[in-house]
Structure 1
Amino acid sequence: MKKIINNIKGNYKLVIAVLVIGVLLGLVFSGSSDKTVTPANGIEGHEGHNHESEDPTTWTCSMHPQIKQDKPGKCPICAMDLIPLTSMQSSGDDVDPNEIVMTESAAKLADIQTMMVQLGVPEKSVRLQGKIHADERNISELTARFGGRIEKLFVNFTGQTVRKGEKLATIYSPNLVTAQRELLEAISFKSSRPSLYQASKGKLKLWDLTDGQIEEIEKKGEPMLYFDILSPISGTVTMRHVAIGDYVKEGTKLFEVVDLSKLWVMLDAYESDLPWIKMNDKVEFTVQAMPGKNYEAKVTYIDPFINGSTRVAKVRAEVSNKNQQLKPEMFVNGVVNSKIAEASNKILIPKSAILWTGKRAVVYVKIPNRETPSFLYREVVLGPEAGSFFVVSEGLQEHEEIAVNGVFKIDAASQLIGLPSMMNPDGGKVSTGHNHGDMAVDQSQHKMENFEVDKKFQKQLTSFYNDYLSLTKAFVTSNSSKVNAEAESLLSKLSLIDMGLLKGDAHMAWMNDLKVLESKLKEIAEAEDINKQRAAFASFNQALYKSVKSFGLDKVTAYYQFCPMANDDKGAYWFSNSEEIQNPYFGEMMLGCGEVKETIK
């Protein structure tokens, strides 16, 4: 014991240091405990300090709420920009319960831009393609008014230019000689039987003899054996049906003469273009054969019918061609700058302000007199497309303010907190645990039977697949008429695939696929609504995938892509020749939404 005491005395400095440290630690722990239990002393307790408040922002995808990150970026599924998941719903008695409030920082981050709704005159430049045609009113078809033999021919080749009244040919006609003798005999009865004289003279006129020729016959007192066929107009001989020595009957075609000093420009206009084209509109066009030269004409005729095969109507303009530079059948590219309603103003909003599902068009209206940016969901009825604008028929008033940039991010935030949104117009919370991709069967995991097939069949299927890519591009443009035309073309290409090249089970498998491919292409070709076309397109792609996997493609790499939001959130597939996503089910609205599910080489 004495030894221990001596040791302590020897190290008293160490002992004192240990005691001081112990006291300080006791004060720290006891003080912390007191502050937690009794925060009334004015110092905030530890539990009252929220570490998450230092950085409360969680970043998520508007279309795939299951994606959550602690920093901004892009969605790994659809490559859309992530948005901050914060409570942006409005509160208070003086605001609409469906109003979505954004902080200034959130609005700036989402790059929200707005504009006042104004009245304007809708204008659009309609681009048309077509050909030059001869003016049908300036085409003269010469036929034989009486039978006979071609004695002389003054037109030796087609394309020869002639003037009005110029000789084209000389004909000998026994019947005409007889008719002249009847006239000469009737002259002696001119005073006593004038009707007989007039009948004989009228017969010669019906055979295309002029008054001058008839007077000459009467003066000579003997019939003329040869008669000249004269050109009725000045123009170009485009058809010559006879040669020297030919015997012709009454009604036989002899020549066709066309006046090319005025021509028709026949342009193809799709259904969606017709509301913008009216009579007397100015058409500016160029001819591929003469680059750099511009022509102008006016619309003089609009076809009252739509061609059932091409789905276009003909628009005609007339152009002067005195120098004969323009030729029939030349290709032209025309532009019509038109106003749809010159006498009245319409509400116009830019395309970027609209969220469009095909069934509904949605805009977000900014609430005036708010300290922070606040918006309301509004469904509108759209009129015609006017270049980069749309005419609004219903739903907006002049001087209202709408979002024109960052609209999709506003809608995404609205959807995430359960307010009315584009994909959920009735509101309600979205489910963050559900994966839209699970709603559609991942066809890339299906087991397909691979057949040994004739190389010719595989090449024919590959040719069909290459034409199919044009149909996909038409869907990307959301142009229903263009989709109709491409589907009809693809249907005819499908009939060229020779199923006789397949044998046994391969033949039966193709027969099953062919039924689906044909029926869905017919649905697409006959439907006028883009949504019905896209629904059929989703089923068509399933059958095409089965065929491609079963029979293969020749020297082609195909990317089988998937969008989880298509087909009413069931998901849908399509083929592409590029890894880049261009969504045919939503077009510009969600062009980049999707992912490559399988690469088929």
Structure 2
Amino acid sequence: MRKNWKNKGLWVGLLMLVWLVGCSSDGKQQKQGPANPNNHAGHDHAPTGKAGQATEYTCPMHPQIVQNEPGSCPICGMDLVKKVQPGAGDSVAVDADLKALLQPTNALVVANVATVQPERRTESVTLTANGIVTYDTRRLYTIPARYGGRIEKLYVRYAYQPIRKGQKLLELYSPDLVTAQRELLYLLEADGTNIPLIAAARQKLRLLGLTDGQIDEVVKRRQPSYSLAVFSPYDGYVVEGSSAAPAPAMPAPSGGGTSAGGMTGGGMGGSSTDEVVFSAAPSAPASSGVMDGALQVREGQYVQTGQTLFQVVNPTRLWAEFRLYAQDAARLKPGTPLTISFTGSGTPIQRARVDFVVPFFASGGTDASSQFVTIRAYLSGANGPRVGQLAKATLRQPVPNALWIPATAVLELGTERVAFVKEGGAFRPVRVQTGAQSGTLVAVTRGLTEGQAIARNAQFLIDSESFVNVTPTTP
């Protein structure tokens, strides 16, 4: 009995000890709070966010899984993350300045750059144009065959051989000419008193190209001449019958448009054709069919009536032809003084005047900026330039009452030009049309008005042309 009571007391003591240890750990846990801060067991409210709303958790891969407490996704097992509530984050009020900055980049280009206003005044511009020295066509003569026949003797042997007026060029046998001589001799023998018929026979020989001296020689000898000489009626140089005077090649902009100080081939409506290049290098005037300076006319060759035997060029007076952009030549008139220099020949500079402005455009392209006007000045060929020589003309003319801006304020975009007008805190691209250029200034003929503030340096505003979207303007 005594042992049983002892065993029962031992078991009761152990139970009391276990009960005391459990109560002590439970008290500590209540003082320290829950080990997991996200464990809201025992609380009577749900987790809340900054705005007082209940915090929700979702799966990044499966957004349809939404819970009010952290955990794992039942589909993929990923940890749930807090779900961002709509409208969360800091908000900023958008004022007028910020609204301008938020415009699309292809509508407004924003920069803090210096501005300038267009000024209306009169400026004197310098025009330069490339050209070529060519024949004066009024001194380009043709020597035709007035009767058909065979060349018996040729005295002109090579192209560009100098000849003088009255010099013998060739001897020609012609059956028609022999017949006309016999008619005159027959009238003299059969009806020597018939003055009208004899005068008509003489006139016929004159029209065939015989001189009075040759006719008198036939009458004196009383025999027809079977080989008659052809004399030159002009001074100059002999060229082939089919040769033509050289003309300046069509100038082409290196990029399209008019030339200027900032011109790169088309430039920005400038005042110079310095950048105009020839589409083909002009060569010295050459005769069609001339080989090594020889002529195609040969002894023993038959020619027909009216066939051109030679062309004779008198180079004592020449033309210098230049091509200007149409807008540069708009105010150009005959009599305008110009200075002509010659490329790489040592020929001294000549001063001349514009003698003729061709009344038609020479088109080098499909747009208006590729139209050219040809001007002509007369030069003295004595100890001066040669035909086919390159030349450059420089002339000045005033541009009255024009709107001028810095050339750097215009941006070249291929076939069009733009300037940036300041509106509020931003710059808007505006299509402009430019004219002549004077130094660092360029005249604007369309697109801008006085009082507008434009960017002084248009190139500074962009790093790519793709940012500029020009709004079409009504004409």
Q: Which residue of 2 aligns with 1:322?
A: 382
Query: Against the structure 1 CA distance between its residues 410 and 160, is the aligned structure 2 distance closer, same or farther, given a 3 Å change threshold?
Result: closer
- Report the counterpart of residue 331 of structure 2 in structure 1: 276
- 1:363 and 1:561 map into 2 onto residues whose CA distance is 18
**289 and 215 in structure 1: CA distance in 2 versus 1, 3 angstrom threshold:** farther
SS at 2:388's partner residue? Answer: coil
Among candidates 252, 264, 273, match of residue 319 of structure 2: 264
Contact 2:409 2:456 in 1 (8 A): no
1:12-411, aligned counterparts within 5 Å?
A: 65-66=101-102, 82-83=111-112, 120=122, 122-187=123-188, 193-239=194-240, 240-290=295-345, 293-310=348-365, 311-323=371-383, 325-339=384-398, 346=401, 349-351=404-406, 384-387=435-438, 388-390=441-443, 407-408=454-455
1:129 partner SS: strand
Structure 1 position 181, deviation (Å): 1.7
Which residue does 2:82 correspond to in 1?
none
SS at match of 1:204: helix
- One-letter code of the match for 2:158? F
For the residues of structure 2 that align with 1:141 and 1:124, how far apart are their CA atoms?
A: 43
Q: CA deviation at 1:148?
A: 2.1
- How many residue pairs match? The answer is 302
Change (3 A) 1:292 1:137: closer
Paired with 2:407 and 2:168, the residues of 1 have a C-alpha distance of 67
Q: Which has more strand, going by share of residues?
A: 2
Q: After superposition, where does 1:413-452 map in structure 2 within 5 Å?
A: none
- Relative distance call for 1:198 and 1:309 in structure 2 (3 A) is farther
Identical residues among aligned pairs (%): 26
TM-score (norm 2): 0.52
Quick one: higher RCO (CA 8 Å, sep 6+), 1 or 2?
2
Aligned in 2, Cα 1:313/1:231: closer, same or farther, shift over 3 Å? same
Specify the code of the residue in structure 1 equivalent to 2:179: T
Q: Give unmatched runs, 5+ long, in structure 2.
A: 1-96, 241-294, 366-370, 423-429
CA contact (8 A) 1:172 1:227 kept: yes
Pairs within 5 Å for 1:554-565: 561-565=464-468
Letter in 1 for 2:353: K
> What is the distance in 2 between the residues matched to 1:566 and 1:359?
12
| Residue 431 of structure 1: aligned partner | none
1:118 to partner: Cα distance: 6.9
Identify the residue that residue 18 of structure 1 maps to in structure 2.
none
Say if 1:124 and 1:276, in contact at 8 Å, map to a contact too: no
1:460-479 → structure 2 map (5 Å cutoff):
none
Higher helix share: 1
Cα 1:409/1:228, change in 2 over 3 Å:
closer
Q: How much has 1:206 moved relative to structure 2? A: 1.4
Amino acid aligned to 2:469: A
Please tell me whether the aligned partners of residues 101 and 110 of structure 2 are also in contact (alpha carbons under 8 angstroms): no
- d(CA) in 1 for partners of 2:312, 2:389: 19
Deviations 1:146-203 (A, max 9, x none): 1222222211111211111111111222321221121223345777543322321221
Cα distance change, pair 285–150 in 1 and its aligned pair in 2 (3 A): same
Q: Please tell me whether the aligned partners of residues 307 and 313 of structure 1 are also in contact (alpha carbons under 8 angstroms).
A: yes
Aligned to 2:198, what secondary structure does the other structure show? Answer: helix
Contact 1:268 1:315 (8 Å CA) reproduced: yes
Compute the displacement of 1:563 (Å): 2.8
**Per the alignment, in what secondary structure is the counterpart of residue 260 of structure 1?**
coil
Distance 1:264-1:308 versus aligned 2 partners, 3 A rule: same
Measured in 1, the distance between the counterparts of 2:347 and 2:164 equals 33
- Aligned Cα RMSD in Å? 4.6
Supply the distance in 1 between the matched residues of 2:315 and 2:200 (Cα, whole angstroms). Answer: 38
> For residues 562 and 391 of structure 1, what CA distance do their matches in structure 2 show?
21
* Cα distance in 2 for residues equivalent to 1:315 and 1:128: 10
> C-alpha separation between the residues in 2 aligned to 1:392 and 1:313?
20
